Amino acid sequence: MAKLKQETIAAQIGNRKCERTGAVNMPVYFSTAYQHADLGVSTGYDYTRTGNPTRDALEEALAELENGTHAFATSSGMSAIQLVFQLFKTGEHIISSQDLYGGTFRYFEQFGAQYNIGFSYWNGAEIADLEKLLRVETKAVFIETPTNPLMQETDIAAVASWAREHDLLVIVDNTFYTPVLQQPLNLGADIVIHSATKYLGGHNDVLAGAVIVKDDSLGGFFFNQLNATGTVLSPFDSWLLIRGLKTLVIRVRQHQANAQKIAAFLETHPLVEEVRYPGRGGMISFFIQDAALVSPLLKQLELFTFAESLGGVESLITYPTTQTHADIPVELRNSYGLTDKLLRISVGIEASEDLVADLAQALDKVAEGVVSHG
């Protein structure tokens, strides 16, 4: 059979995995231990940290969706990053996107200080600027694309081409676009990371991470490290993630269709100074005229929930200054454009007309207050 389309891969996750019962829905294998028939005789499962049938079905699907050969389901997006960074040793150096999730920045600062690993930050625009950051001890380039929350896209293929010339690994956080919109391994990246809590899970009900690679040596390294540290995804959370993945492709299409309409609306409103939307995906950031208007706006919204996450079916609005990026020093945030006037929207799958109407009524009420008190 020809290579299956992503819609088919996703919908079929777990089907035909239980030959004894013929279960269509992947069973949840809660057992922590597995019987051995004799000395050295195993079913392939010994202890659930090392291997679990439910998690295996999930990891097989993750690898297939990202066009990789090895996938690892971890207990959170941050544990996925931590797994990857076990590759690096004291004295080494990493080049990273400047604009990135605040939790990732926090981890880099702590990890770098603890293990004397250097980090340099790149704005993601010009490949030539990478040369200025390159050191003898540089080992990898870490990219978020689009960036969080300024929504700047990076040319993965160009970075990968440059990295190959310098024998560097390329690590891409693909949380925002998912494999539906972007497959970094196909563009030359070595490692893909997801906060699977977000779009892959899609329902704001599971904490999970994922790491996907093509290279066998990287796959072997991550398997051994994950088995040693034990930050694996639990069987039930693996099942929840499988359930979410089954609708990933159709959800991403609706997120994107809604986001395109919302971005177009925001471009027209007088209280909105600038909209950051790269034209695809379900994430939008925008700058409001005055930071003093943020709280009044949030209080007027009726459908958008003020919360710090993304990728679920419900629309959320986030204020990075006090939520997702609060651990980045104010001076640093301001230096690359992440100011206190920025709001980030995770567009859900509700009716686009209802979402636009909610933003319109909230912005209009705030505008009326500005006029009446101005």
Residue 279 · residue 303 · CB < 8 Å? no
Q: Are residues 13 and 130 in the same domain?
A: yes
Residue 83 — φ and ψ, nearest 5°? -60, -45
343: three-class secondary structure by DSSP: strand
Q: How far apart are CA 161 and CA 183, in angstroms?
A: 16
Question: Of the candidates 246, 262, 294, which is a domain's last residue?
Answer: 246
- Provide the H-helix boundaries in the chain: 6-11, 53-65, 77-84, 102-115, 128-133, 156-165, 178-181, 216-229, 235-245, 248-268, 294-300, 330-335, 352-373
CB atoms under 10 Å from CB of 225, counted, come to: 17
Q: Are residues 223 and 257 in the same domain?
A: no
CB atoms under 10 Å from CB of 53, counted, come to: 22
Q: Are residues 35 and 83 in the same domain?
A: yes
Q: How far apart are CA 168 and CA 69, in angstroms?
A: 20
Give domain status of residue 102, yes or no: yes
48: three-class secondary structure by DSSP: coil
Give domain status of residue 77, yes or no: yes
Q: Are residues 221 and 260 in the same domain?
A: no
**173 is known as an active-site residue:** yes
Q: Are residues 272 and 241 in the same domain?
A: no
CB atoms under 10 Å from CB of 125, counted, come to: 12
Q: How far apart are CA 280 and CA 228, in angstroms?
A: 39
Q: How far apart are CA 10 and CA 243, in angstroms?
A: 9
The identity of residue 136, as a single letter, is: V
CB atoms under 10 Å from CB of 22, counted, come to: 9
Residue 342 · residue 336 · CB < 8 Å? no
Q: Are residues 212 and 264 in the same domain?
A: no
Give domain status of residue 1, yes or no: no
DSSP assignments along 99-137, one per residue: S--HHHHHHHHHHHHHHT-EEEEE-SS-THHHHHH--TT
Structure token digits, residue 102: 């605040």
Residues in the chain: 374
Q: How many domains does the chain have?
A: 2
Residue 95 · residue 123 · CB < 8 Å? no
- State the pLDDT at residue 374: 47
Q: Are residues 272 and 229 in the same domain?
A: no
Q: What CATH number corresponds to the domain at position 17?
A: 3.40.640.10
**115 is known as an active-site residue:** no
Non-local CB neighbours of 301 within 8 Å, separated by 6+ positions: 317, 358, 359, 362
Catalytic annotation, pick one of 173, 190, 237, 358: 173
DSSP 347: -
Catalytic annotation, pick one of 45, 49, 139, 155: 49
Q: How far apart are CA 255 and CA 76, in angstroms?
A: 23
Question: Of the candidates 246, 269, 287, which is a domain's last residue?
Answer: 246
Q: Are residues 255 and 242 in the same domain?
A: no
Q: Are residues 88 and 146 in the same domain?
A: yes
Give domain status of residue 218, yes or no: yes
Q: Are residues 202 and 314 in the same domain?
A: no
Which residues of the chain are modeled with pLDDT < 70? 371-374
What is the DSSP pairing of strand 169-173 with strand 118-122? unpaired
Catalytic annotation, pick one of 17, 55, 56, 101: 101
Give domain status of residue 113, yes or no: yes
User: ∠202-203-205 over CA atoms, to 5°?
Assistant: 120
Q: Are residues 122 and 241 in the same domain?
A: yes
Q: Are residues 150 and 260 in the same domain?
A: no
Question: Of the candidates 227, 246, 265, which is a domain's last residue?
Answer: 246
- State the pLDDT at residue 125: 86
Instruction: Give the domain range for residue 308.
Output: 249-373
What is the DSSP pairing of strand 316-318 with strand 209-213? unpaired
Catalytic annotation, pick one of 99, 121, 190, 198: 198
CB atoms under 10 Å from CB of 111, counted, come to: 16
Q: What CATH number corresponds to the domain at position 280?
A: 3.90.1150.10
